[in-house]
Amino acid sequence: MTACPSLVFLLSDGIRGHLFQGRGVAGWLSRFTGADVVEMDVPRPTGWERISLFQWKARFLPSMDGAGAARWIEEAGAGHLLDSAKHELTAKKCGGNTALFLSAGSGAAPFTLALARATGQKCCTIMTPSVLGTAPFDFAVVPEHDHPEKRNNVLSTLGAPNAIFPDELELKGWELAQKYPPGETDGQENRWGVLVGGDDANYRVSPEWVRRTIGPILEVGRTAGADIYITTSRRTSPEAEEELLRLTEGHPSVRMVLLASKDPFNPVPGMLGLCPRIFVTEDSVSMVSEAVTAGREVFLLRTGRQSRAGTALQEATAFLVRKRLLPGSCLWGIPRFDALFSGLASRGFLKEAPYDKLYTSTGTSVSLHPDGPVLNEAKRAAEWIVEKWGV
C-alpha cells in the first residue's frame, strides 16, 4: 500500500514566513511518502469582504458538508482552486483520504479546510487560525509558546517548522563561498554568520544598537581571525543599514555585508551551510529556528524596545501568568517570544550574547557538538502526520 499522503496541496496567503513553514512540512512529507507537492495561492480579500468571509461566514465551515464548503469556496472567489485541485486529484488517481491540504497562518486556513471538505481529503494547519481554531482540522501543528489546546489532532512544537533541510546546506554554503570567498582562516569553525533583523511592533534595531552590538562581534572576530558574513532583513531601517556599512567598511574579518534593501538574493541558507557560529537578533524568530535546525552554535542578540508603555503592559501580563492568575495563552508580545527562547536555551539549542559581556560569553572558538541535540520540527511534524494518517 502506498504511503499517505500521496499528494500535498500547499496553500499560500502570500506571507513569506508562512510559505516557508509550509514548505518545510510538505518537503519532509514528500521525502517520507514520495508525495507530489502542488503550491497554490489563495485569494487575499481586504476590508469588509475579508471580515464577511473570514470573521463571519468562515465560522460555519466546520459544520458544512462538501457541497456547503464548495459554495463557500465559490463565494470566496476560489472556484479555480477547487477546479485545479480536482484536476490534480484525478490526474494522480487520488481517492478519498489520500491527499492533504496544508497551510500556515489564518489567511489560508479557511481555504485549506473548505477544499479538504469539498474534495473528501484531509487538512492540516500550522499555527492556530483565528476564528476556526484547531478543532476542525485533521492535523494542527502549533508552537508550544502559543499554548495550543491539548487535543489528539494537535502537535505541539518548540518553535515554528521551517524549510531548512540540513543535508542541502553544504551545497548552499559552497555556493555562497564561491560568491563571497572566505579568507585564509584556520578552519571552517572560524566562519561566523550575523543575521540582523529590524523594527516591528515590539523590537527596534537602531544605529546605536548596531554600534553597541555588532561592533564587539567584529572585534571578537578580529581576535579570532574569523570570517564574518552579515545580512539584514527587509525590516532593517535605512539608518541601521548605513551604520552597519560604516562599521564594517574595510574591516579585515568581514567577507560579506548583504543588505536586504539592496539585493534580493537570500544568503541565509548559504550562511547556515558555511558558518558554524550564528548570531541572530531576537526579533527574527524564524531565523532563530532556522539556525537551530541547521545545527549551528546559535547566539541570541537582544535588541532595543519600541515602547516602554507597551513593554510594561506585556510584563504585567507575564507577571500575572507567572502567578497563575492568568492562563499562559494570555502571554503576548515580547514575553511570549521569550518563552520560546527560554525553551530553546534550556534544551541547549541557544545561548545568550549580551553585548556588554560579549568577549566572555562567546569566546573566540566555536563549540561544535556534532553528536548533540537536534531540532527539526518540520521533520517531526511530517513524521507525526504520516503516523496518524490512518488512525
DSSP codes joined into one string, 205-240: --HHHIIIIIHHHHHHHHHHT-EEEEEE-TTS-HHH
Q: Is pLDDT at 187 greater than 70 in this prediction? A: no
pLDDT given at position 260: 92
pLDDT over 50 at 146, yes or no: yes
Cα-flanking dihedrals φ and ψ of residue 84, to 5°?
A: -65, -40
Pairwise CA distance, residues 282 & 116, whole Å: 36
Helices assigned H by DSSP within the chain:
16-33, 47-50, 66-75, 79-91, 109-119, 166-179, 207-209, 215-224, 238-248, 268-274, 285-293, 308-322, 334-346, 358-362, 377-388
In percent, the amount of the chain with pLDDT more than 90 equals 66
Torsional class of 131: left (φ above 0), alpha (ψ -120 to 50), beta (otherwise): left
Give the whole-angstrom CA distance, residue 351 versus residue 163: 23
Q: Do domains 7-163+379-388 and 166-375 have the same CATH topology?
A: yes
pLDDT given for residue 309 in this prediction: 73
Query: What was the pLDDT predicted at 175?
Result: 96
Domain extent listing, the chain: 7-163+379-388, 166-375
Which H helix or E strand runs over 12?
Answer: strand 7-12
C-alpha 340, offset from chain centre: 13
Distance CA 260, CA 376 (A): 26
Q: Which fold has domain 166-375?
A: Rossmann fold (3.40.50)
- pLDDT grade, residue 369 (50/70/90)? very low
In contact, 183 and 221? CB cutoff 8 Å: no
CA 388/CA 391 separation, integer angstroms: 5
Of the listed ranges 264-268, 349-353, 355-359, the one predicted with least confidence: 355-359
CA 231 – CA 264 distance, rounded (Å): 11
- What pLDDT band is residue 161 in, cutting at 50, 70 and 90? very high
Model pLDDT for residues 48-103, shown as the tens digit of each residue: 888 888 888 889 999 999 999 999 999 999 999 999 999 999 998 888 789 999 99
Residue 125's nearest CA partner among 116, 134, 117 is: 134
β-strands 277-281, 297-301 pairing: parallel
Cell of 166: 540540513
pLDDT, mean of residues 212-221: 93
Check residue 31 and give its pLDDT.
Answer: 96
Query: Taking 50 as the threshold, does the pLDDT of residue 1 lie above it?
Result: no
The CATH number assigned to the domain with range 7-163+379-388 reads 3.40.50
Q: Find, among 72, 80, 70, the residue nearest to 54 by Cα.
A: 72
Least Cα distance to 139 among 5, 336, 300 occurs for 5
Of 55-64, 184-193, 344-353, 362-371, the poorest mean pLDDT is in 362-371
Q: How far apart are CA 160 and CA 89, in angstroms?
A: 29
Farthest-apart Cα atoms in the chain, separation: 67
Three-state secondary structure readout of 128-190:
CCCCCCCCCCCEEEEEHHHCCCCCCCEEEECCCCCCCCHHHHHHHHHHHHHHCCCCCCCCHHH
Q: Is the model's pLDDT at 358 over the cut of 90?
A: no
In tens, the pLDDT along 320-338 reads 878 888 887 787 788 888 8
pLDDT(27) > 80? yes
